[in-house]
Structure 1
Amino acid sequence: MNAIAAPRTSPAAPAPAAAPRQQAQMTLVSAQAKISQSRKAKQKQRAAKAVNYAYKQIGDRYRYGGTGPGSWDCSGLAGGSWRKAGVKLPRTTTQIYKAVKHKVSWKGAVKGDLLFFYSGKSHMGIYVGKGYMIHAPSSGKKVKKIKLNRDYKRNFKGGVRPGY
């Protein structure tokens, strides 16, 4: 008996129609990665502008509720710096922390991130890299760049990355 055997197909082999679908999915993933890289690059540019603006405010006096120019409180300085970079932030420390969705850790902080300290996230500064931040400390003092010491690390309550 000469039986003609039907060709066998491997169950692991994709159906011919699956190849274009896989290619489309790979193209979509590639496009999303490019968008993500573009967003990251834009955020990094904005952060650099915010940090540069904060540096220019060093020496300005502290004033409770101050939003510049010339006098600042901590959240006013952060908001003013990021506003110059094209990003609008809410007015107070707690509002800013809640509004910015991209949270960061102590070790994950990069230039431009906003770091929050003390109970209720009542104080904040702009991280400028290499363990330093610029902030408006308190009444009678001036905006300054400081080294983040153990006291700040112990009182760290969270960080955010604006500009996404």
Structure 2
Amino acid sequence: MQASATATSRANSVISIGKNYLGTPYQFGAKAGQTNTFDCSSFTQYVFKRVGVNLPRTSKNQAHVGSYVSRSNLRTGDLVFFLNPGKPGVINHVAIYMGNGNLLQTYGAGGVRITNIHSGTWSSRYMTARRVL
């Protein structure tokens, strides 16, 4: 039970820290550790590092850390990975699962935002998820 409570507390911290950056502009290839712009994986890397979890720099590499989680068992703080449209099997995006189908992520105009996994093309592009907390 203690490990679960700790993981839940850390997951809530990840979401809270990430929400501080809502609206921060998206920049592909943003430098690791900077907070004036993020790309999807620099955002997840930065936020998780703040709670003591070191992640690789790219979404493709982040998809190999932690443990596999099925889509039906997603929990707050899980990393969710998405395919590149037109390139089957190629991961090109990562988001943080917030619960209730919501994702904390950054991409394109608007930067860091909360979106629903069932909106737009996210559901059809879903590839896998990993638990790192």
TM-score normalised by the chain length of structure 1? 0.71
Residue 148 of structure 1: which of 104, 110, 117 is its match?
117
Partner AA of 1:123 in structure 2: H
- Equivalent residues of 2:65, 2:132 under 8 A apart: no
Alignment match, 2:77: 112
Partner AA of 2:3 in structure 1: R
Alignment of structure 1 residues 4-15 onto 2, 5 Å? none
For the residue of structure 2 that corresponds to 1:157, the secondary structure is: strand
- Equivalent residues of 1:115, 1:125 under 8 A apart: yes
- 1:40 and 2:4 aligned: yes
Alignment match, 2:16: 52
Distance 2:107 2:95 in 1: 9
Alignment match, 2:86: none
Task: Return the structure number with greater strand share.
Answer: 2
For the residue of structure 1 that corresponds to 2:60, the secondary structure is: helix
TM-score normalised by the chain length of structure 2? 0.86
Alignment match, 2:50: 84
- 1:71 and 2:37 aligned: yes
Structure 1: segments with no counterpart, 5+ residues = 1-36
Between the two proteins, the alignment pairs up a number of residues equal to 125
Question: Cα offset for 1:79?
Answer: 0.9
Question: Cα offset for 1:55?
Answer: 0.8
Distance 2:51 2:12 in 1: 8
Task: Return the structure number with greater helix share.
Answer: 1
Question: Cα offset for 1:108?
Answer: 0.8
Partner AA of 2:13 in structure 1: K
Question: Cα offset for 1:41?
Answer: 2.1
For the residue of structure 1 that corresponds to 2:29, the secondary structure is: coil
Partner AA of 2:82 in structure 1: F
Partner AA of 1:131 in structure 2: G
Q: Provide the alpha-carbon RMSD of the alignment.
A: 1.4
Question: Cα offset for 1:61?
Answer: 0.3
Percent identity (aligned) = 23
Instruction: Tell which structure's C-alpha radius of gyration is larger.
Output: 1
- Equivalent residues of 1:125, 1:136 under 8 A apart: yes
Distance 2:10 2:56 in 1: 17
Partner AA of 2:106 in structure 1: A
Structure 2: segments with no counterpart, 5+ residues = 84-88
Distance 1:44 1:81 in 2: 15
Question: Cα offset for 1:129?
Answer: 1.1
